[in-house]
Amino acid sequence: MYISKDKRVVETMGGRKVIIRTLDIGADKQVDYFNLDKEENPALGYRAIRICLTRPEIFRTQLRALFRASAYGNLAIMYPMIISVEEVKKIKEISKAVREELLEEGFQIGEVEEGIMIETPAAALLSGELAREVDFFSIGTNDLTQYTLAIDRQNAKLDPFYDAHHPAILKFIQMVIDNAHAAGIWAGICGELGADLELTQTFIQMGIDELSVSPGCILPLRKKIRETE
**Per-residue confidence in pLDDT tens, the chain, 229 aa:** 444 567 778 888 778 899 999 998 765 555 565 666 677 787 888 889 999 999 999 999 999 999 999 999 999 999 999 999 999 999 999 999 999 999 999 999 999 999 999 999 999 999 999 999 999 999 999 999 999 999 988 899 999 999 999 999 999 999 999 999 999 999 999 989 999 999 999 999 999 999 999 999 999 999 999 998 7
pLDDT in tens, 56-115: 999 999 999 999 999 999 999 999 999 999 999 999 999 999 999 999 999 999 999 999
- Residue 27 CB: number of other CB atoms within 10 A? 19
Angle between helices 167-182 and 141-149 (to 10 degrees): 130
pTM score: 0.90
Any idea how long the chain is?
229
Q: What's the pLDDT score for residue 32?
A: 60
E-strand spans in the chain? 18-21, 75-79, 113-118, 136-140, 186-190, 210-211
Cα gap 164→145, rounded to integer Å = 6
Cα gap 131→164, rounded to integer Å = 24
